[in-house]
Copies of this chain bind each other. A is one copy, B any other.
Amino acid sequence: MSDVIKLAHGDGGKFTNELIKNLFYRHFRNRKLEEGIDAATFSVNEGRMAFTTDSFVVKPIFFYGGDIGKLAVCGSINDLAVSGAKPLYLSASFIIEEGFPIDKLEAIVRSMGDTCTRAGVNIITGDTKVVEKGSVDGIFINTSGVGIIESNYKMKTIESGDQIIVTGTIGEHGTAIAIQRYDIKVKGNFKSDCNPLNGITENIQDLYPYIKIMKDPTRGGLVTILNELAELAGLGVRLIEEKIPVSREVKAMNEMLGLDPLYMACEGRMVLVVNKLYAEKVLNRIRSLEGCKDANIIGNFDQEASLKVYIENYLGGKRILNTLEGAMLPRIC
């Protein structure tokens, strides 16, 4: 096999097949994929299914705590998980620049395979296109996903008083990308939070009657999601600054860069809106789960605040958090 991707790897012929067998089958490893037919097939029981898609253009493609492959697998898993679905199958579609190193491609594909194994999902169908040098920036990956809504999860109407839970420290993915994009030399444990969320959702299904909405705060971070929910609910949101879990490093780095962790993408956190009577119960369960020890109740919906999202600090100071007009950082996912 050549050590870089050639146009012929994308022509659907001999080289494409070589790539599929030597790379994709080896790392994604499952019978449905290896059947190699135009569409993969699977059995379903009567019920409801969920279907989602995301394209990933993250830059750089390898970052602290992950890479475009892990991110692509987590992205579609997480969209399914926050919709109350059990992720079952993913597709993976690659657009690769001519000349892209095959060892890098293999690292990405291996990372996708590992993340799938950890999350209990399978990539069962795929596609590979190769474009001429200069027609794409390295590699872009699309994943789509299907899942089954086994649970009793339904989005419910948000009411004043409903509590907001976040499952861990925020802003870590966006900050990791920013550091590497701006090529900042820092010490400290900067790492994307990129992770599959179905490990959380599968362990809180009995609490779904108390959970009104689940969301993953990706592009635009926590504030963007909360502004969307405020608009949806016709209510305001009151956040309590010291309750929001942010690591010291992330806080300091964002101050230095003139950025705000509240707007930075997370790729492995979830925001939950919970009936206030059960918020502590839900929080305790979440804190008991892997990677969620920093989960916290960070605020509540509030009819007094009339559609605004605001944050209060311990001195009683208030600050309105509007949706930004432009991205803080493009290509974070």
Chain A interface (Cβ within 8 Å of chain B)? 7-8, 10-16, 37-57, 78-80, 82-83, 85, 89, 91-95, 124-127, 129-132, 134-137, 140, 142, 144-147, 149, 155, 215-216, 218-220, 224, 323-327, 330-331
Asked if A127 and B49 make an inter-chain contact with CB atoms under 8 angstroms apart, the answer reads no
**Given A44-B44, A136-B135, is A13 in contact with B323 using a C-beta cutoff of 8 Å?**
yes
Asked if B127 and A57 make an inter-chain contact with CB atoms under 8 angstroms apart, the answer reads no
Please, which residues of chain B bring their CB within 8 A of the CB of A124? 51
**Given A43-B47, A93-B54, A136-B135, is A14 in contact with B218 using a C-beta cutoff of 8 Å?**
no
Asked if A125 and B53 make an inter-chain contact with CB atoms under 8 angstroms apart, the answer reads yes
Asked if B39 and A83 make an inter-chain contact with CB atoms under 8 angstroms apart, the answer reads yes
Please, which residues of chain B bring their CB within 8 A of the CB of A39? 50-52, 79-80, 82-83, 85, 145, 147
Closest to A132 in B: B330
What 9 A-B pairs have minimum CB-CB distances, sorted nearest first? Answer: A12-B219, A11-B327, A53-B91, A144-B144, A39-B52, A39-B50, A135-B137, A39-B83, A142-B142
Closest to A98 in B: B330
Q: Bound state CA distance, A280 and B40, in angstroms?
A: 30
Q: Bound state CA distance, A51 and B40, in angstroms?
A: 5
Asked if B55 and A93 make an inter-chain contact with CB atoms under 8 angstroms apart, the answer reads yes
Please, which residues of chain B bring their CB within 8 A of the CB of A45? 46
**Given A51-B39, A127-B53, A155-B37, is A327 in contact with B7 using a C-beta cutoff of 8 Å?**
yes
| Interchain residue pairs with CB less than 8 A apart (28) | A7-B326, A11-B330, A12-B218, A13-B219, A13-B324, A15-B325, A16-B219, A38-B78, A38-B216, A41-B48, A41-B149, A43-B46, A44-B48, A44-B49, A46-B46, A53-B93, A53-B144, A55-B93, A55-B95, A55-B142, A56-B129, A57-B95, A57-B129, A57-B131, A93-B142, A131-B137, A131-B331, A135-B136
Please, which residues of chain B bring their CB within 8 A of the CB of A220? 11-13
Asked if A144 and B44 make an inter-chain contact with CB atoms under 8 angstroms apart, the answer reads no
Please, which residues of chain B bring their CB within 8 A of the CB of A218? 12
Closest to A144 in B: B144
**Given A131-B330, A327-B11, is A83 in contact with B38 using a C-beta cutoff of 8 Å?**
yes
Please, which residues of chain B bring their CB within 8 A of the CB of A10? 327, 330
Asked if B325 and A14 make an inter-chain contact with CB atoms under 8 angstroms apart, the answer reads yes
Asked if A48 and B43 make an inter-chain contact with CB atoms under 8 angstroms apart, the answer reads yes
Asked if B41 and A49 make an inter-chain contact with CB atoms under 8 angstroms apart, the answer reads yes
Q: How far is the CB of A174 from chain B (nearest CB, A)?
A: 12
Closest to A8 in B: B326
Please, which residues of chain B bring their CB within 8 A of the CB of A125? 51-53
Q: How far is the CB of A99 from chain B (nearest CB, A)?
A: 13
Q: How far is the CB of A290 from chain B (nearest CB, A)?
A: 22
**Given A11-B327, A91-B144, is A127 in contact with B54 using a C-beta cutoff of 8 Å?**
yes
**Given A38-B52, A330-B132, is A13 in contact with B224 using a C-beta cutoff of 8 Å?**
yes
- A7, A215, A326 — which one has the most chain B CB atoms within 10 A of its CB? A326
Q: Bound state CA distance, A224 and B94, in angstroms?
A: 21
